[in-house]
Amino acid sequence: MKKILLIDDEISLVRTLELYFRGKGYSVSAAFEAREGLQLWRETEPDIVLLDVQLPGMDGTKALATAKDEDLCGDVVMITAFQDMEATLSAIQRGAVDYLYKPLDLDSLDVLLEKILARRKEREKIERLSHVVSECFKPNQIIGRSQATLEVIKDIARVAGAPVTVLIDGETGTGKELVARTIHQQWAPGEPFVAINCAAIVSNLLESELFGHERGAFTGAVQRKLGKMEIAGSGSVFLDEMGELPLEIQAKFLRVLQEKQFQRVGGLKDIPFNARLLVATNRDLESMCRTGGFREDLYFRLKVFEIHIRPLRERTEDIMPLAENFISRMNRELNRNVTRIPLEYLKALENYDWPGNVRELENMLRRAMILSRSDVLEIDQCWLEPRQSPFSKAPEPEDRGLKSLNDMEKEHILKILRYTGGNYGETCKILGVSRPTLRKKINDYGLKEYLEADSAYQKD
Ligand SMILES: Nc1ncnc2c1ncn2[C@@H]1O[C@H](COP(=O)(O)OP(=O)(O)OP(=O)(O)O)[C@@H](O)[C@H]1O
Ligand SMILES: [Mg+2]
């Protein structure tokens, strides 16, 4: 039974409303002044309170403030004199859900109460069926409570103090770079952490990026340039996507690891290599060795200590803490106040495949946060279909299987752009092309139109 509390000093009105609401099946309590009203408010825990502004002694606005201070439950409708604009505004600011003017019209009162009760019901449903996000933002930390993640953290602790090469492998977006940075932080905080993505740099520039070059070493080398290995000093060099390192550079690299020194391109001087090497790959180097794509001797040198990061779908216990962490962070970044995830949504997150792993989760949540206007994370229906990527909705080929290479390329680029949430940097990384190349292809294929059609997509 719904409970209503009436606080008004107009005795005849209160008596009429009492009869009216009893007739409608409410449990009614009534008071003619604020103090008694507040007492009943505490005792009866009403769903709705009708509160007159003008009361003898403590007025209605004060009573409302007291009730809010004490966190008393119930939705409050203020009853004000027609002209009293100021009291109306102040009541709403103090947390009344609505107001009615005297003389009361029972039809408008009915409509209003129905609206309020429907809203309460919806709210109760959300509260029952949602998970409260705990405020837990920890920047640059490895989040997760699965056994697999705890093992990774233990591995980091074991290896951080020893100057050995670490090979970090895992699918795209699983957190390889985060692990590398964490090892570096433990090992040599304050020293440089120099990252180089072997897939993002064309092979004839890669050598000079790594080792540097002397002036005049090749056309265009107008001055001496230090390579990443030299810049790292006694910090760490992070070689990302090691599987993409061309074979001829693999040979040079092996020599560096054996001799602990190298020369700049076009130079003769031996430069000592003192940094720690951290290597990441999302390709299976062992099978690449078997097919000749990767040098076995180099592989064994790199594999001194291996950290394998499992795909997110194999450690679903990590999804909720990760989501909470991202939501806490994005509440600040995007000026949102999301505190609840509907359980239905949480289940969908746990059932989904996550081909893009943690990065995909982060991108997906960012979109959801942008769409969310209340404290509840908003669900885009297409995300609730299990095991189907919301970003892989590239157009279906009309003539199945009979596509041109260009069409394939266009679809593939679009798919990756959608998967990264339109982030050019990440897209270049995954596709292994440079930014100018990506831009040109986006232009040539008219992909901007598709992306603009995707609402609220992210662009770096
Ligand atoms: N366990 C984790 N806790 C918190 N954040 C994480 C975790 N794993 C990954 N992330 C976040 O996910 C994003 C992707 O991680 P990262 O760049 O380290 O992945 P990666 O494996 O290097 O990806 P790629 O293979 O595409 O280079 C980053 O924003 C990172 O901070
Ligand atoms: Mg990476």
Superfamily classification of domain 3-127: Response regulator (3.40.50.2300)
Q: Which atom of ligand 1 is nearest to the CA of 318?
A: 1
Q: Which two tokens stand for residue 302?
A: 């790199």
Q: Which residue has the tokens 């592989």?
A: 299
Nearest-CA residue for ligand 1 atom 12 is: 359
Please count the other Cβ atoms lying within 10 Å of the Cβ belonging to residue 7.
27
Q: Which atom of ligand 1 is nearest to the CA of 361?
A: 12
Q: Which residue has the tokens 């203020």?
A: 78
* DSSP letter string, 88-118: HHHHHHTT-SEEEESSP-HHHHHHHHHHHHH
- Tell which one of 174, 198, 314 to mutate to probe ligand 1, the residue whose CB is within 8 A of the most ligand atoms: 174
User: Which residues of the chain form CATH 3.40.50.300?
Assistant: 147-312
Q: Which residue has the tokens 């509390």?
A: 5
What is the architecture, at CATH level 2, of domain 318-384?
A: Orthogonal Bundle (1.10)
Question: 99 alpha carbon to ligand 1 midpoint, in Å?
Answer: 50
Q: Does domain 391-460 have CATH number 1.10.10?
A: yes
User: Which residues of the chain form CATH 1.10.10?
Assistant: 391-460
Q: Which ligand ends up closest to the CA of 171?
A: 1
Q: Which atom of ligand 1 is nearest to the CA of 181?
A: 18
pTM for the structure as a whole: 0.65
Task: Give Cβ neighbours of residue 14 (< 8 Å, ≥ 6 apart).
Answer: 6, 8, 30, 32
| CA distance linking residue 42 with residue 24, whole number of Å | 23
User: Which pLDDT value is given to residue 346?
Assistant: 86
Omega cis (within 30) before 355: no
Q: How far is CA 394 from CA 208, 397, 407, 408, 414, in A?
A: 38, 9, 11, 10, 7
User: Which pLDDT value is given to residue 379?
Assistant: 67
Q: Which atom of ligand 1 is nearest to the CA of 149?
A: 1
Please count the other Cβ atoms lying within 10 Å of the Cβ belonging to residue 98.
15
User: Which pLDDT value is given to residue 393?
Assistant: 42
Nearest-CA residue for ligand 1 atom 13 is: 359
Ligand 1 interacting residues, C-beta cut-off 6 A: 142-144, 170, 172-178, 240, 280, 282, 322, 358-359, 362, 429
Question: 358 alpha carbon to ligand 1 midpoint, in Å?
Answer: 6
Backbone angles phi, psi at 367, to 5 degrees: -60, -45
Q: Which residues pair with 27 in a beta bridge?
A: 3
pLDDT in tens, 70-95: 989 899 999 987 677 777 788 888 88
Pick the CATH number of 147-312 from 3.30.360.10, 3.30.70.100, 3.40.50.300, 3.30.365.10: 3.40.50.300
User: Which pLDDT value is given to residue 399?
Assistant: 41
Q: Which ligand ends up closest to the CA of 282?
A: 1
* DSSP letter string, 151-174: HHHHHHHHHHTS---EEEE-STTS
User: Which residues of the chain form CATH 3.40.50.2300?
Assistant: 3-127
pLDDT in tens, 156-198: 988 988 889 999 999 999 999 999 999 999 889 999 999 999 9
Question: 359 alpha carbon to ligand 1 midpoint, in Å?
Answer: 6
Q: Taking 90 as the threshold, does the pLDDT of residue 336 lie above it? A: no
